[in-house]
Each structure stands twice: as C-alpha cells, then as structure tokens.
Structure 1
Amino acid sequence: MREAAMDQGTRGELISRLAEAIRSVTTAHPLRVAIDGPPAAGKTTLADELAVVLRAQDRDVIRATIDDFLFPRAQRYRRGQYSAEGCYFDAHDHAALCRVLLDPLGPGGDRRFQHAVYDRDTDTPSSPPATTAPADAVLLFDGVFLLRPELIDRWDLRIFVSVPFEQTVDRARDRGTALAGSTADTAEIERSWRNRYIPSQQLYFATARPTDHADIIVYNDQLQRPTWEGRLGLRKSPGRSASFDAAASAT
C-alpha cells in the first residue's frame, strides 16, 4: 500500500489542494483528470468547482462527462431496466470516448477533440465540432466507472469521490425532489439505486478495485468538511512527471 498523507478541511481547502495536485503533474500533452465515484457522490459539482479555480489561474479547462458518452437507451437497458450488469457493461461507449477525446489529448495525440458523442435529451448521436486543445490544457472528466481496465491508462491524474452507498440513495431522492417537486417518484428512484446503480458499483469494486488505482480519494459524505487522502508515488505515464504531496484524509 502506498504511503498516504491525510487531512480534513473546508470545501475551499479541498479545492485548493486539488488545484495544487493538478499543477504538480506535468505532461507533454493536455492533462487528463478522471473524477470517478458512485452516482450522487458529488463528482460533477467537484469538477465544476475545480474548473472555476483553475480558470481563475489562467489554465485552459476542458469539462466533459461520461453522460455524453452513453450508448442509446435501447442498448443501455437491453438486459432490463434494473440490471446491474447492464449498467456496468452496456451503458457507456468507451471506444468512442478514447477515440474522440482521451487519445487525441494523450501522448502522441493531435489535440483535436470532441467532448461528446451522445445527446441524452434526445437519445440520439451528437457530433459537436472538433476543437484543438492547448498543450497545457486540463481535461476535467467526471463520471462512473472511469478507473476500469479499459480506461485506467488513459488518465494522468485519478480522483475518486467516495460516499457511502446508503447516502447516495438519500442524495438521489433529495435531488429528484428538488428537480421535480411533489411529482418526483421517490420510490422509483430508490428502486433504481438499490437494484441497478448500487449493485453495479459493487460489481465495479469487486472487479476493478478503483480505489486501489486512485491518486486522490475524496471522502465527500460531509460536503462542507470533506476528508481526503492523497497518495504519494504517482504512477508514471508517457511524458508525465510528478512532484505530488497532496494532503488527504482518513475516514
């Protein structure tokens, strides 16, 4: 087990430390940062907060999410609406993600990328214009199952946002109520979480062991007083060097 530095602090302190960690990793190509974790862990919010800080430091930031690399609904649910295996194996187009985003931004890539291949609102393919990233850009990519074997070597910095599964159910229920008010089907939300999303995360943990591969683990159960664990001795990838001493936290 790698040596870990441990800390706990305010939300602002966490974001500041993550920005420091990003600055400490240098590559000859845009820096690809995975922000992984279970549904409703707070990945998107964390990535958005971090993007604000990095842009204020004059860093070019690319924001993208796994939700824009879904397969069409018919394929995602071909094993059934509540299938955990379907959620893990059938939901995301990893080949397209690598082809249009991660590989162009990686070693030997031409830096011309697309941030999406799918429009969830219309359940149709999406093909936004290709953009050329500066060599010192940062990709902040949030989503589930990002540290699985198909993707693990495509990231230059790996962050895992950890929240107890039971708490993600509560957050999903609260989020549904906030978006839909009294029309929210909280029973359906809970069924989806308990039958599909949580079991798929358990499958992910059993097969891919994502926290073993994370450079930083953020324990996000207390949103305003998070705990984080930054592990020393980052793995080397082509063109990457690191001088990383992030504080992090114990549970």
Structure 2
Amino acid sequence: MRFEPITWERLADALADRADALEPADGGTRLRIGVDGATAARPDAPAERLAEALRTRGRPVLTVSTWGFLRPASLRFEYGKEDPDAYADGWFDTGALWREVFRPLEPGGSGRVLPDLWDPATDRATRSPYRSLPDGGVLILHGPLLLGQWFPFDLGVHLSLSPGALRRRTEEGERWTLPAYARYEDEVAPAERADVTVRADDPRHPAWTGTGT
C-alpha cells in the first residue's frame, strides 16, 4: 500500500471533493461516511474537519460519535472493566446505531437521526432530541472498530497506526484495549476495507493512499 504525504486540511478538502462526486449506493438521498480509527488516532478530529469542509460546500452535515452509543455498564463490564474481547464485541451498541442512525437514512426514511443514546458518565440515556438530516445531507460516523460491522458507508476512511505508534499514543490506563485492536487488524483488515487509508503514526505528518478517483 503506497502512502503520500498530505496535510489534515488538504485531506479534508480531498475527501469533501470525493463525497461531492458520490451518490448513495442504496439509491437514497443522503450520504454516509465512516471515519474509523483507534481512540489514540483521534478520528473525531478529521471527522470534524471533513464536516466543516462539506458545510463550506453547502452540504448539511451531521456528525455522530460511536461513544454516544455505548451499552450500559452492566453489559460492557460483564466480564470485567478491562476485557479486550468485550471491548471489541460488546461495548458499542451496533443495533442501536443501525436502528437510530442508519435506517432513518435509507431510501424513504424519515432522516431523523438520534445523535447519541447513552451517557457513560451517568450510565443513563441521554434523552437527546432527534436531528433531521435533509435530502442531500451527509452523515459522518466516527469512532473505533467501525469497518467490521457491515455499516452501509458510501465512503469509508481508516486512520491507521502501526503497533508501535498505537502503543505510544494510547494512554497507559487504556492499553488493555490493544489486543482488541490487534484482533481487529487480523480479522477485519480495515486498511483493505476502507476506501481511503490515512497513516497517522505522526499526527503532524499524515500520509494517505488517495481517494482512488
């Protein structure tokens, strides 16, 4: 896989250009983009840059974080608070993401998306109001372990970290998650599934594979 240097600003503009050239694969009217990456890769930051680049082009955008769709603590911590397999398989409520985020964006869907569902600090439902994404709008879902869930992304972006960079950039108290990311690499191969892969070992000097267009 060949990588070329790029800045985060240029990356956002290039991805926005790619998004403008895409039509939803299911024949719907709203585009769905996934920005996948380990927490240490900070997928929220490029997701927000992309959202801003799309808004400057006149596109309505809704960003959603998978961290707003955690399962309750009683389910997440069933096997302890530091179980990497539970983190990979059971922390994120993928069923709720399908139900509350993706299905409303299907052809004929209401476009009413729930931006978050669960607050891990209070371990209670957030009770956030639904947000309407109009025709021509773009959903950007960002978070870890996204590309193994068969979510219907029209554009998938993966932020890649080498094992050494992942360990260095992961906070010590979160390093128990590293086996989950190693398993994700082995079982899902996210760099191969993504439409665009960004090497982010040095956050000051990202490199990417290009958009393939």
> What's the TM-score once normalised by structure 1's chain length?
0.77
What is aligned with 1:181?
Answer: none
SS of equivalent residue, structure 1 residue 79: coil
What is aligned with 2:96?
Answer: 96
Q: Distance in 1 between matches of 2:9 and 2:189?
A: 29
> What's the TM-score once normalised by structure 2's chain length?
0.90
Question: 1:82-121 alignment to 2 at 5 Å?
Answer: 82-121=82-121
Q: Tell me if structure 1 keeps the 8 A contact 2:196–2:211.
A: yes
Question: 1:182-193 alignment to 2 at 5 Å?
Answer: 186=172, 189=173, 192-193=174-175
Shift of 1:30: 1.3
Question: Which of 17, 22, 35 is the matching residue for 1:20?
Answer: 17
Question: Which of 198, 208, 213 is the matching residue for 2:193?
Answer: 213
Give, as a single letter, the amino acid of the residue that structure 2 aligns with 1:215.
Answer: D
Structure 2 CA distance for partners of 1:77 and 1:144, relative to 1, 3 Å: same
SS of equivalent residue, structure 2 residue 9: helix
Extract unaligned runs of 5+ from structure 2. none
Q: Distance in 2 between matches of 1:138 and 1:5?
A: 28
What is aligned with 1:156?
Answer: 154
Shift of 1:25: 1.0
Q: Deviations over 1:118-171 (max 9, x none)?
A: 1122111223222321111111111111111xx324211110001123323333
What is aligned with 1:9?
Answer: 6
Extract unaligned runs of 5+ from structure 1. 174-185, 233-244, 246-251
Are positions 1:45 and 2:45 aligned together? Answer: yes
Of structures 1 and 2, the larger Rg is shown by 1
Q: Distance in 2 between matches of 1:172 and 1:204?
A: 16
Q: Distance in 1 between matches of 2:37 and 2:106?
A: 22
Q: Distance in 2 between matches of 1:16 and 1:80?
A: 42
SS of equivalent residue, structure 1 residue 34: strand
Give the percent of matched residue pairs that are identical in Structure 1 and Structure 2.
27
CA RMSD of aligned residues (A): 1.9
What is aligned with 1:75?
Answer: 75
Q: Tell me if structure 2 keeps the 8 A contact 1:103–1:154.
A: no
Task: Work out the number of aligned pairs and report it.
Answer: 210
Q: Deviations over 1:220-251 (max 9, x none)?
A: 1222321101363xxxxxxxxxxxx1xxxxxx
Q: Tell me if structure 1 keeps the 8 A contact 2:117–2:125.
A: yes
Question: 1:167-206 alignment to 2 at 5 Å?
Answer: 167-173=165-171, 186=172, 189=173, 192-193=174-175, 195=176, 197-206=177-186
Give, as a single letter, the amino acid of the residue that structure 2 aligns with 1:75.
Answer: L
Q: Distance in 2 between matches of 1:72 and 1:158?
A: 27
- Stretches of 4+ moved more than 6 A in 1? none
Give, as a single letter, the amino acid of the residue that structure 1 aligns with 2:183.
Answer: L
